[in-house]
Amino acid sequence: MGSQFGSQVLGSVAANGHLNANGVEIVSIALGIEDNAGFDQRVMQDPARWGFDLAGVDCVLDGSDRTEIREGFAYYTGLSPSRIPGTGQRRAFVILNGVTNSPSHKPWELLHFSHGFSSTQSDSLLALIDSVMPGDGSGGGGDPTGQSYTEWMAEAGLPDAAPLEDGDGDGLSNVVEFYFDTPPGQANPSPLQFSSIDGTFRLAYPVGKDRTGVTVGLETSTSLAEWQSLDVPEGDWVLTEGESVDQVDVSLPADMESFVRLRVTLSD
């Protein structure tokens, strides 16, 4: 649900052709669930006056009854109404990133949420809007390009760190930390977890989301001196998606040698 007060921020971008400082298009949408006082309905009746590009009424409340459910505006007509908000939630100001392949933010990342808008927020909110970088042009949804080692290390403040370095001395090289999404600047215990279930050995570990430019495999050894590739059928690798990191679970072959390690290298 949007408030017309938000147009004071988004409207100030209009002088730049509705683009932020990085050339990303700005679209503002006013939404409202209102009681019979209908204050925000003025925005819906004349959205252009308040600086909004799109507008729609979720419904009008008459006590606990809903009237005019998503009618009168093409943007919402035919869609089911949302839940009625509680006290203090009738009007909100939200900034979302709508760029799917932005190197600075995740798709639909919530940059700001507050119950209303104050002019004292203008500078900070404009800075948030201007922080969104344009996509890389690959198209598609869900950030299919992922994140590269170089981008990840730059975010960690270590842009010049070599992939095979282990600056924090925890036994995990930078490229391995990138794959696991563990902080490269502080010591971390190995996230590898081995277990045995019903006679089957399993390996589990976390992996950062949308990692690109890495090749991963398993190696086995009897002496820790010489290693050879361990072939694991594709169906024995299971990836479970999580909120911040994903989880990999691997069923290991019964004929493997005494030792197993995970090999992570940067692709050419």
pLDDT-based confidence at residue 63 (cuts at 50, 70, 90)? low
Asked if residue 111 belongs to a domain, the reply is yes
Closest CA to 56 of 80, 92, 30, 35: 30
Range of the domain at 59: 4-130
Domain boundary among 101, 130, 159: 130
Q: Does 145 fall in a domain? A: no
Q: What is the mean pLDDT of the chain?
A: 74
Provide the pLDDT for residue 104.
79
Average pLDDT (12-23) is 61
Q: In sequence order, what are the residues at sequence separation of 6 or more whose Cβ sits closer than 8 angstroms to the Cβ of residue 136?
A: 101, 103, 145
> When comparing pLDDT for 92 and 7, which is higher?
92
pLDDT over 60 at 100, yes or no = yes
pLDDT higher than 70, residue 194: yes
Residues in the chain: 268
The pLDDT tens digits for 230-263 are: 888 878 888 888 888 899 999 988 777 788 999 9
- For the purposes of burial, counting CB atoms within 10 Å of the CB of 225, is it exposed (0-12), middle (13-18) or buried (19 or more)? exposed
Residue 20: C-alpha distances to residues 14, 25, 26, 58, 168 (Å): 9, 7, 7, 28, 38
Residues 48, 110 within the same domain: yes
Element (H, E) at 128: helix 122-130
Phi, psi (5° rounding) for residue 109?
-65, 135
Average confidence (pLDDT) over 137-152:
61
Q: Which H or E run includes 29?
A: strand 29-34
